[in-house]
Amino acid sequence: MAADRDLSFRSIWISIFSLALFVLMLSPATAMAKVIITNPNSNQVFSETNDFASRRFADPWDMSQWTDMSNSQYFSKIDNFRFKGGVLSGRTTGHAYFHPLFPGFRDGYPLDRDGEINKIDTSKYDSVSFRMYSSKRTIGQVHWLYNTMWTKFGVNAFRIEKGWHTYTIDLGADDEWVGKPMGFRFTPAYEAGVHFKVDWMRLYQSSKRRVSLEWTDSKPGSNAWIYLDRDNVYGNNAVEKLTSMTSGRKNTYVWNPSPYKPGVYHFYIKKAGDPAVYSKRVLINRIPLITILNPDDKGGKDYAKTETGNPWDMNGPNDIEFNDYLTNIRFNNGIMSAKTVMKPGQKIGEGFFHLRVPKPIDTNKYHRLTFRYRYDGYFDFGLGTMARAIWGPDWWDLTRHSTSDAVITYPRWKTYTMDLKKMPIVAGNLGWNGLVREFRFDPLEVSKPWTFHVDYIRLSADDWANRGMTIQWNEGRLTPRPTKVAIYYDTNRTGYNGKLIAKGLMSKSGKNSYKWDTRQVPEGKYWVHFAATDGISSSKVYATGPVVMEH
C-alpha cells in the first residue's frame, strides 16, 4: 500500500511538471522572444566629451537655475520665461531668443559669466546639441556674436519638430564658425504662439567615440524601432526614438554619444507585436565640477570689519554716513531698502549713499569690491538698471573723485564682485590709488523712482596666509564617483604647472576643505589650482583670486 501511494504521488508531480513545461513553451513571452541584444552585453562607462559650460563655469547648461542662461534677464519676445524642475520654458510672442552666453554690454563692465571675459574657442568646441520640446513644427536658429554691439556674428538655422527631440548642429562645418565669439544666442522659434521647453544644452567638442548596438533576430524581415531610454522604464516620456530599420538575422546600429548630456542610458528594440528588449546600461560620466571657494576673487580681510569693527552688513543706519535723493529708507533683517528720487530737471536718477569711512581706506590693500543686491521690477539696460561706485580722497574736492564703469545689475538677488584696481573709470583721473576717505554707492541710474535692496557691501584685501590657510572647494555633482583631487600653487594663473600642495584627497559632493601648512612657502602672490579625477573623467581649475603669502 505504501509503495502504491508513493507511486501515485510521483505520477501526480510528473504530470504537474509536464503541464507547467507545456504552458511555458506556449507562453507569449517565450514565443515572441526573437530579438537578443549581444552588445552592449555588459555595463559601459566612459567620460563625457568636453563641454564649454562645464569646463568654464563648473556648471553645465542643465536648466536647473537661471544662471544657466548667462544673465537670463536678457531675453526677447518670450512670455512666462522660467526655470522649473530642471527645464527652461516659455511661450514665444514673435522672433524669440535668449542667451546661453551673453556677450555683455558695450557700456558695462564685464563680470561673472559675461562672454566678453569667457570667449568660446571655436577650434575646440565645434558642435551644439540640445533636447527641446516644441508645441508645433517651426524654425530655430543659433547666433554667435563677436562684439557687444551684435554687428559681427554668424548664424545657423534649422528645423524644429513638434514634441520632444534631441538636436545636434555641426558648427565646425560652418565657414562662419571661426575665432573666439563672446556670445551665443538661441532662437526657439521665429513666430509667435510657440510653447517651448529646453531640458539641456551642450556646446561641446565632438569625439570619435561610438557605441555599437548589436542584436540577433530569429525571425528577421520585419521593421525594428530603436529607442534610447534614460530610466529603463518602457513607454514613458524619458525615451527618444533614434531610428528604424529592417531587422536581419544579425544587426548593428552605431550611436554617437558625444551630443548627449551625462547620465545613464539604455537602448531598447521594439518590433510590432513583440515586447521591448532592453540592453545593458551605458553611463556617460560627468567630469568633476570643482569650484574653488577659498582663495577666490572676493578676497579675505574686509576693510569695514577689520579697520572699524563695523562691517557694511546693512544691519542698521550706522553703516551709512550720508544719503541723498533716496526715500523710504529702512533696515530690516540685515537688508537695506530704499527708493530713488528724481532731481528736479534731471533725466537720470541720482539717488546714492555714502558708506561709513571713519578711517582712510588703503587702496593698495583693500581693492576687491563685492555686494549682494537686487531691485524691484524688471531689467532694462536702456532705462539705467546699473550701479556704480564713486570715491575720492577728500569730501569737498569733487574734482579729485573717480567714478567706476557701470555694473549691469539684475532684479534677482545676485552677488557682484570686481577688482577696483583693474576696473575702468569713466570720470576722474586718480583711479583706485592712494588713501580714500569717501566711498559712495549709486544703486541705480533709472529715469524714474525705483526700489532697490542691498544685503551687504564688502571691500576686501587679497586672501592672505602666514602659517597656514584652509583651502575650500565645492564639488557640483550630486552623486559623483569616488573622486580624488590634487592641489597646487602657482606663480601665475596659466599652465597648470604649479608646485604640489597635496594629492590623493577624497572629494565628496558639496563643500570640502584642506588645511594647508604654508610655513615653508616663500613670500609672494600665488594662484591655487586643482586637478580632479574619478578614474573615468577629470578636470582642472584655477582659483578666481590669489593668495598673498607673508611671514
Q: pLDDT for 374-400, tens place per residue? A: 999 999 888 899 999 999 998 777 788
Distance (Å, rounded) from C-alpha 376 to C-alpha 369?
A: 23
What is the distance between the alpha carbons of residues 68 and 60, in angstroms, rounded to a whole number? Answer: 7
CA dist 423 → 71, 304, 403, 539 (Å): 20, 21, 10, 30
For 204, the grid coordinates are 561641446
What pLDDT, in 10s, does the model give residues 297-323?
Answer: 999 999 999 999 999 999 999 999 999
Contact 339, 326 (CB under 8 A): yes
Under-70 pLDDT residues of the chain: 1-33, 71-73, 234-237, 344-349
Contact indicator for 395, 371 with CB cutoff of 8 Å: no
Helices (H) and strands (E) in the chain, counts: 4, 39
3-state secondary structure of 206: coil
pLDDT score for 395: 77
User: Where, residue-wise, is CATH 2.60.120.260 in the chain?
Assistant: 303-460
Question: In the CATH hierarchy, which fold is given to the domain comprising 52-204?
Answer: Jelly Rolls (2.60.120)
Instruction: Label residue 251 exposed, middle or buried (CB < 10 Å: 0-12, 13-18, 19+).
Output: buried
Task: Quote the pLDDT of residue 238.
Answer: 72
Say what the pLDDT of residue 26 is.
39
On whether the CB atoms of residues 283 and 45 are closer than 8 A, the answer is yes
290-296+463-549 has CATH 1.10.10.10 classification: no
Which part of the chain is CATH 2.60.120.430? 52-204
**Taking the CA atoms of the chain, what radius of gyration do you get in angstroms?**
30
Looking at residue 400, its pLDDT comes to 87
Superfamily for the 34-46+208-285 domain? SOR catalytic domain (2.60.40.730)
* pLDDT of amino acid 235: 61
pLDDT value of position 67: 85
* Burial (CB count within 10 angstroms: exposed 0-12, middle 13-18, buried 19+), residue 487: buried
- Distance in angstroms (rounded) separating the CA atoms of residues 249 and 214: 11
Instruction: List 454's β-bridge partners, or say none.
Output: 336, 373
Q: How many C-beta neighbours within 10 Å does residue 277 have?
A: 18
The Cα–Cα gap between 551 and 540 comes to 29
Buried-state track 109-145, b at ≥16 Cβ within 10 A, e below 16: bbbbbbbbebbbebeebbbbbbbbbbeeebebbbbbb
User: Quick check: 120 and 144 in contact, CB under 8 A?
Assistant: yes
Record the cell numbers describing residue 40, joined without a space: 552592449
DSSP 22: H
- Chain centroid offset of residue 169 CA: 21
Cell numbers of 139, please?
Answer: 524654425
Q: Tell me, which fold does domain 303-460 have in CATH?
A: Jelly Rolls (2.60.120)
Q: Where are the alpha helices (DSSP H) in 27-156?
A: 28-31, 52-57
472 in Cβ contact with 397 (< 8 Å): no
**Roughly how many angstroms between the first and final C-alpha of the chain, as a whole number?**
102
Q: Residue type at 79?
A: D
Q: Are 445 and 346 in contact (CB under 8 A)?
A: no
Q: Please give the single-letter amino acid code of residue 171.
A: L
- CATH 2.60.40.730 location in the chain: 34-46+208-285
